[in-house]
Amino acid sequence: MDQKAQNWAIVVGVNKNSNLLPLDYAERDAESVRDFFRELKFKQVYFFAKGADPIPADEGGSSSAEPTFGELTNFLDRRFAAPFLKPSDNLWFFFAGHGLRVREQDYLMLRDSNPGNVDRAALKVQDLAAQLRGSGRAISFLSRQ
């Protein structure tokens, strides 16, 4: 019996980082992508941006949707601790904000990321991809930097 594929998404928009020049449209672009995914009736769209509504937790309650290194890594650790997607499901990841390449590695810069200490305060794209693969499916990355 075929199960209908469901789409899931994580959308992140970061205009301001205290260590980098501000961006004007990253949060707006992320909001547009979030709205588009919602129109397409995605099962869940996790949206991280300044002032965004809290992220609901599967076990009840919620967590902050501020796009900081701590908040996003805590969410990823909880949500992707075990596979949860069916084989037919899709997971999308969209990031709008600053990116940085250091020592041949790509990083996503969050609100509190420090370009001088990316190993401890920025999302390493390679590690993020590996963690998202823990959902049980291949992933699609979309970015606007």
Which pLDDT score, from 0 to 100, does residue 93 have?
94
pLDDT band at residue 1, thresholds of 50, 70 and 90?
very low
pLDDT band at residue 105, thresholds of 50, 70 and 90?
very high
Residues paired with residue 12 on neighbouring β-strands, in sequence order: 48, 95
Which pLDDT score, from 0 to 100, does residue 142 have?
54
Q: What is the pLDDT of residues 30-52, one digit of tens each?
A: 999 999 999 999 999 999 999 99
pLDDT over 90 (residue 82): no
Query: pTM for the complete prediction?
Result: 0.88
- Other C-beta atoms closer than 10 Å to the C-beta of 87 total 8
CA dihedral 66, 38, 45, 118 (to 10 degrees): -50
Q: What is the mean pLDDT of residues 79-89?
A: 82
What percent of the chain is predicted at pLDDT more than 70?
Answer: 87
Residues paired with residue 99 on neighbouring β-strands, in sequence order: 108
